[in-house]
Structure 1
């Protein structure tokens, strides 16, 4: 199949949608599909990543809340017919709109839906944006939600889409990143707690920093990620006397450097208030890392998927004492057996996603073969 993946940002930009799109695209290429990513960036470029052609179109509006590229709209208007299927990502970004309105190619939409904005401006714009979102939803032949919790939230706001929604959870890699890159497990003093994600207020990293006051000096927090809340979080760590050895900000890390952080970690944490799935939690569990997560629907669903015996503690991050105690217990718990978790892999995700593609593009017929899939027209 020829698949055009439309997303607001792509690797090396960091975020849940960016990570999802990159892993999905790489797995589709491995299955024999021809994949192009259509995205937007400050500067227009073409490059190949993981066998995927990534077309970056220059931004017309660079505002962080709703970025917009007129060149991306123009390209989709004139060239969408080269793809068998368009797969657009994220309700919360404008890039999905030209995929829906500028052509008649079969459209699959993965909304990564949170149901609200994550800043005062985004929350104010969200009801105004609803009619635009309704157009995208109406145009989509299939919508893919990554949890049943996301599906129920989407149906609350768009009940007309109920019979077109399928649930395909995000994948994990049971062979951990550390193992894939051949990184030797690091030995560092104390207990390292890993917090990974884009630094936005709704991720509630500030709660984790405050909880560190209730842990001994042998515990340290390693924050990996970039975003608009970083300066504020660093100031908080300094005010609490935790900057430096107790709380360290690494920004974005290359894969090998991140693998080193993973190998050194005793536990992982996500205090996020909103997630469609919770990839940071799933990746930590797939690596066998004891994990503390906020008690939100997506994380509760992940706990059920992971099954009993998985080292996962769900807490209310607003209770910093309870959060600290969960982190204390998690960081003292041995890593789990990597081969035993039941979470889906990206190979599982691709098999189900390609079936969705074939259902909306009837001129494409899938051929299943051992190892990788193939396509035939």
Structure 2
């Protein structure tokens, strides 16, 4: 099957959607599909990444939150018929609007990664105005793939006409060695993800004060809030115990997971929650904000997984939960979460149902992180 995957950004750009798309693409390639990524970038050219042709189109509007590439839209208009299916990602990026608005007969699959709102005052205010355009994408898609039941409920709340075309395929996790017990040395807490204000990493940094000098926070990721978070750590006097690693490759991130005594996600909005899933898959005790996606993940991980829902606005409670997580020690077994191979199998079934093209069973995995 020939598949065109449309994404706002792609590796080496880092984020939850980028990770999802890269894993899916790697798995489709391993399963024998012919895959191309259609994306946009200010400077990076078209290239082959991990065996996949990544067509990068120049930006017409380079604004960070509202990037648009008209050459990408024109490519989809002129070349969509060359693909058996187009799979576009992210309601919150205008690239999906281009894939839906241009005229072409190719079946469209849409994974919205939908949060139901914007993440700044401006974006939240613009969100209702964008909804008619979002409705065009939802209406054009033959299948809408949500990564949790919580995301599905948000989609159907705002777009009830999508009923009957929505399927839930949870994100996958990477199988990792599980090393139970307590980590030697410093009690390390891992907080990973794009550094946006809605991720509320500032609350985690504030919790480092009451935790005391025996605890260290490893912040993995980059984003627009990075500068203010570093300044906050300095003002609070915990800069020596908060390490900002920036973006990490797969091996370096695996090293952070291996060293972590606990993990935390204070995010206010998630369609899934990759930080929580990665930690639980490695047997790491995890503290998470009590948002629906995190609660669903905890249920999916099962009763043996150590995960505590804690309101990050209560810094004392957050510090106490992190202290308990470190004290609990890592589990001897990984949480039974879906793998990326599971995601690929379920997604290929969606393609098959939409196009009428059979897909053979495969045991191929979904590639590296």
Of the three residues 314, 326, 334, the one matched with 2:329 is 334
- Indicate if the aligned counterparts of 2:280 and 2:305 stay in contact, CA closer than 8 A: yes
User: Any unmatched runs of 5+ in structure 2?
Assistant: none
Choose the corresponding residue for 1:367, options 349, 356, 360: 360
Distance in 2, matches of 1:367 and 1:266, equals: 41
Question: Offset of 1:186 from its aligned partner?
Answer: 12
Partner of 1:205: 201
Higher mean alpha-carbon deviation, 249-258 vs 162-171, is at 249-258
SS at structure 2 position matched to 1:367: coil
Correspondence for 1:351 among 340, 345, 348: 345
Note if contact 1:186-1:260 (Cα within 8 Å) is conserved in structure 2.
no
Q: 1:232 aligns with which of 228, 233, 236?
A: 228
In structure 2, the residue matched to 1:68 is 68
Q: 1:299 aligns with which of 294, 305, 316?
A: 294
Equivalent of 1:321 in 304, 316, 323: 316
**Match for residue 274 of structure 1?**
269
Corresponding residue of 2:100? 100
The CA distance in 1 between the partners of 2:282 and 2:183, in whole Å, is: 17
TM-score, reference length from structure 1 = 0.93
Contact 1:186–1:263, Cα closer than 8 Å, also in 2: no
CA offsets 1:318-359 (integer angstroms, 9 cap, x no match): 111110011001112221134x42211111111111110011
User: Contact between 1:186 and 1:264, CA under 8 Å: does it hold in 2?
Assistant: no
CA deviation vs aligned residue, 1:130-150 (integer Å, no higher than 9, x gap): 111000000000000011111
Contact 1:5 1:37 in 2 (8 A): yes
Shift of 1:298: 0.2
Unaligned runs of 5+ in 1: 180-184
Q: For the Cα contact (< 8 Å) 1:306–1:343, is it kept in 2?
A: yes
Mapping 1:13-162, distance limit 5 Å: 13-102=13-102, 103-162=104-163
Distance 2:282 2:314 in 1: 27
Give SS of 1:45's match: coil
In structure 2, how many angstroms separate the alpha carbons of the residues matched to 1:267 and 1:301? 20
The structure 1 segments of at least 4 consecutive aligned residues displaced by more than 3 Å after TM superposition are 185-188
Aligned length: 363
